[in-house]
Amino acid sequence: MRKMMLVLLCLLPATAMAESLNVSDGWARASIPGTENGAAYATLENPNSDAVKITSISSDISDVAEVHRHVVSGDVMKMEAVSPLVIAPGEIIKFQPGGHHFMLFDLNSPLKADESFSLILHFDSGKQQKIQFTVQ
């Protein structure tokens, strides 16, 4: 019985947190002069028992933000939008150069080292999560 109570207690916070991702290491590279686009990276972990679907990204630092990944077709490496991005229960997706990234089109101003900014993840449930990035 005591064990059962403990299990129930442990489940409660998890339910309340449903659909939040554990996000760490948010970073972006400082803009190269003359470029209008940027990319941001972070590690996303889904600690929930259900898959999480990111359907869109919004940002106040750029006109458009999308989840992208690199794909190789023949000898050519290109980027494609991933929408929705589905993260399975327990899955960790490490965004990194050459892999998944948050693509920022038409930055309002160049990304400068040591500055920080945020993006908002929109889930298919209608919930949102704000995540932070530091420019390196």
- The residues of the shown chain that bind Cu ion, judged by CB under 5 A, are 68, 79, 103
Give me the least distance between CB of 13 and Cu ion, in Å please: 35
Least separation in angstroms between residue 62's CB and Cu ion is 12
Least distance in angstroms from the C-beta of 39 to Cu ion: 6
Q: What are phi and psi of 100, to 5 degrees?
A: -65, 145
Which helix (DSSP H) or strand (DSSP E) does residue 16 occupy? helix 2-16
Give min distance, CB of 50 to Cu ion, in A. 28
Nearest residue (CB) to Cu ion, 68 versus 131: 68
Torsion of CA 71, 77, 78, 84, to 10 degrees: 10
Nearer to Cu ion by Cβ, of 103 and 131: the residue is 103
- Nearer Cβ to Cu ion (104/135): 104
Task: Tell me the DSSP string of 73-135.
Answer: ETTEEEEEE-SSEEE-TT-EEE--TTS-EEEEEEESS---TT-EEEEEEEETTS-EEEEEEEE
Nearest to Cu ion of 48, 65 (CB atom): 65
